[in-house]
Amino acid sequence: MDSRTALALAVLAACHEPAPGAPHATDAATHAAPGTPAMPPGPPSHPGTITGERARALVAAGAALVDVRTAEEYAAGHLPGAINIPVDELWTRYREIPPGQVVVYCGSGARSARARRILGAFGPETFDLGAMSNW
């Protein structure tokens, strides 16, 4: 499989959101073509979710803090130092994120899990705080 096909599969996997109440795949590799790297698992309780303490330490050490909620949600309140790139705009705006590690968050954890998978396609080491209240 060429790299363009692998990236297309990664995009499709990252953009897939299960129907409400549907189980979320915890091992995306079972749905990927042979030779395609596994995507990080999905919902907020997945192993990629970090604690508020870990997120604060990463940000203090220089990681970018990215709020992936809508601009309206961001304007209503956000974490200090966070930049706002709504998850639906990550594909076109990911270059706005400073190089290095990234911590993403949203309102409940669903969009931040999706953002973590999307950013994984571009290479930065990305950590998912989940809900903003976890800070």
CATH number of residue 53's parent domain: 3.40.250.10
Number of domains in the chain: 1
Tell whether 66 is covered by a domain. Answer: yes
Tell whether 13 is covered by a domain. Answer: no
Identify the three-state secondary structure at position 9: helix
Give the pTM: 0.67
- Point out the least confidently predicted range of 6-10, 53-57, 62-66, 126-130: 6-10
Q: What strands lie across the sheet with 64-67, from one edge to the other?
A: 83-84, 64-67, 102-106, 126-131
| Per-residue pLDDT reduced to its tens digit, 58-84 | 999 999 999 999 999 999 999 999 999
Tell whether 15 is covered by a domain. Answer: no
Tell whether 7 is covered by a domain. Answer: no
* CA gap 112, 98 in Å, rounded: 17
Tell whether 99 is covered by a domain. Answer: yes
Tell whether 21 is covered by a domain. Answer: no
* CA gap 63, 81 in Å, rounded: 11
